[in-house]
């Protein structure tokens, strides 16, 4: 290690470096009293712990626990003498990771201090989930490309013979069975088309579109499709900006979202569809989710249905994941919506809670 010039204070340099590290670092003794702390890493707005001498991280991890904290990583390290890592979820900050390391005495026999390194890993967790989702989509795309052609040929045979049977049979029960074969063939063909859409890397047939006109054209179909037990409320911004997009794909997005809303309101309810212009800047919350700053047209679809819990929300865009009963859904609807929005360089955001309805926002760049 090179010698420092005589006019340089090594302790001062060390303290400056320690104070400006991006993570929160805390050193505690066996009574959990703070020996050293930089209290960084995005936790500056968390109130200090009211129990005198306790590390600020105690206000996050152990706000109501008695001292010493039985479940604290530091307590475990003092007991075992080995490093450990824990993850915690904080309602305001996100997902935190705490790594605890032992600091031994000079004889390396007893742990006298524990160093706690605390970092916010919310963004990392989200990126990992996005990567897994992309890998799943890639797997489905490869599978679709390999199977769709042969599968379509088989479906042509099934559907053709189903129609021959339907025309040849006169007994009502057998005619009903033939109709079921034809219906199954058509459902399977729709499934293949959705798979091919996930795997299709073509450029969309882009044209200038007014989302309000698209919604007005679909309004009659949606009201028929949703039924009289669901009220449809269109709130369209008459000054809505023009976007570029594929008309048929965006129609599929709207209809898929409307169908999902209908299925979430079996006893009836209200579906509200709103359009608006919105400017996203560097400080907008969605900027942290990868939404590029700039002008957007936002389509908001809000239902009063049964909503979704956190586990369902985490998997809502997974291909083949569905909450519907067997035979009532393939689980590809939201995956197709996700793919289409990404093709349009847009973003989709979801807010929901069990029993509290669902709000979906689709951001399309102008």
- pLDDT above 90 for 14: no
pTM above 0.85, yes or no: no
- Alpha-carbon distance 278 to 363, whole Å? 9
Q: How confident is the model at residue 127 (pLDDT cuts 50, 70, 90)?
A: confident
**pLDDT band at residue 63 under the 50/70/90 scheme:** low
pLDDT the model gives residue 12: 76
CATH of 207-365 given 3.30.565.10, 2.40.30.10, 1.10.357.10, 3.55.50.30: 3.30.565.10
Sheet (strand 230-235) strand order: 230-235, 269-280, 294-303, 358-365, 347-352
Report residue 26's pLDDT band, with 50, 70 and 90 as the boundaries. Answer: confident
> At residue 205, does pLDDT exceed 90?
no
Measured over the CA atoms of residue 56, residue 61, residue 64 and residue 67, the dihedral's sign is negative
Please provide the average confidence, as pLDDT, over all residues in the chain: 79
| Separation in Å, CA 118 to CA 52, 72, 84, 103, 255 | 21, 13, 12, 17, 45
pLDDT at 208 over 80: yes
Buried/exposed 310-332: b ≥16 CB within 10 Å, e otherwise? eeeeeebbbbebbeeeeeebbbb
CATH of domain 125-199: 1.10.287
**Fold matches, 10-120 and 207-365:** no
Nearest to 334 by CA among 311, 318, 358, 350: 318
Tell me what pLDDT residue 138 has: 67
- What pLDDT is recorded for position 231? 94
Q: What is residue 301's predicted lDDT score, i.e. its pLDDT?
A: 95
Give the tokens for residue 276.
């608006």
Per-range mean pLDDT, top range of 1-15, 168-182, 196-210: 168-182
Q: In the predicted model, what is the mean pLDDT of residues 177-197?
A: 78
Please give the pLDDT value at position 190: 73
Which of 138-152, 193-207, 261-275 is modeled with the greatest confidence? 261-275
* Res. 19 pLDDT band, cuts 50 70 90: confident
Looking at domain 10-120, its CATH architecture is 2-Layer Sandwich (3.30)
Domain boundaries, the chain: 10-120, 125-199, 207-365
């Amino acid at each position: 290690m090179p010698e420092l010039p005589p006019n340089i204070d090594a302790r001062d340099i060390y303290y400056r470096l320690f104070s400006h590290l991006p993570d929160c670092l805390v050193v505690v003794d066996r009574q959990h009293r703070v020996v050293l702390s930089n209290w960084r890493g995005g936790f500056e707005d968390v109130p200090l712990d009211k129990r005198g001498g306790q590390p600020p991280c105690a206000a996050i991890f152990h706000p109501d626990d008695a001292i010493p904290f039985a479940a604290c990583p530091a307590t475990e390290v003092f007991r075992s003498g080995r490093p450990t890592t824990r993850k915690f979820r904080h309602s305001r900050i996100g997902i935190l990771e705490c790594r605890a390391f032992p600091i031994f005495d000079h004889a390396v026999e007893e742990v006298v201090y524990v160093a706690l390194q605390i970092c916010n890993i919310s963004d990392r967790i989200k990126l990992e989930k996005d990567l897994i989702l992309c890998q799943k989509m890639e797997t489905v795309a490869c599978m679709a490309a390999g199977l769709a052609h042969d599968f379509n040929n088989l479906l042509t045979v099934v559907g053709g013979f189903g129609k021959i049977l339907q025309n040849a049979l006169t007994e009502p029960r057998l005619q009903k069975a033939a109709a079921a074969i034809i219906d199954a063939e058509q459902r399977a063909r729709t499934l293949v088309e959705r798979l091919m859409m996930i795997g299709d890397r073509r450029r969309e047939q882009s044209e200038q579109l007014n989302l309000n006109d698209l919604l007005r054209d679909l309004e009659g179909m949606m009201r028929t499709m949703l039924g009289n037990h669901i009220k449809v409320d269109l709130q369209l911004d008459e000054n809505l900006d023009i976007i570029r997009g594929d008309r048929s794909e965006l129609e599929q997005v709207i209809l898929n979202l409307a169908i999902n809303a209908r299925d979430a309101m079996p006893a009836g309810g209200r579906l509200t569809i709103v359009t608006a212009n919105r400017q996203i800047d560097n400080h907008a919350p969605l900027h942290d989710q990868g939404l590029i700053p700039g002008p957007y047209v936002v389509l908001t679809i809000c239902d009063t249905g049964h909503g979704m819990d956190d586990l369902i929300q985490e998997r809502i865009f997974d291909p083949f994941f569905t909450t519907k009963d067997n035979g009532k859904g393939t689980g590809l609807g939201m995956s197709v919506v996700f793919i289409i929005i990404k093709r349009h360089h847009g973003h989709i955001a979801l807010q929901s809670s069990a029993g509290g309805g669902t709000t979906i926002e689709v951001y399309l760049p102008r």
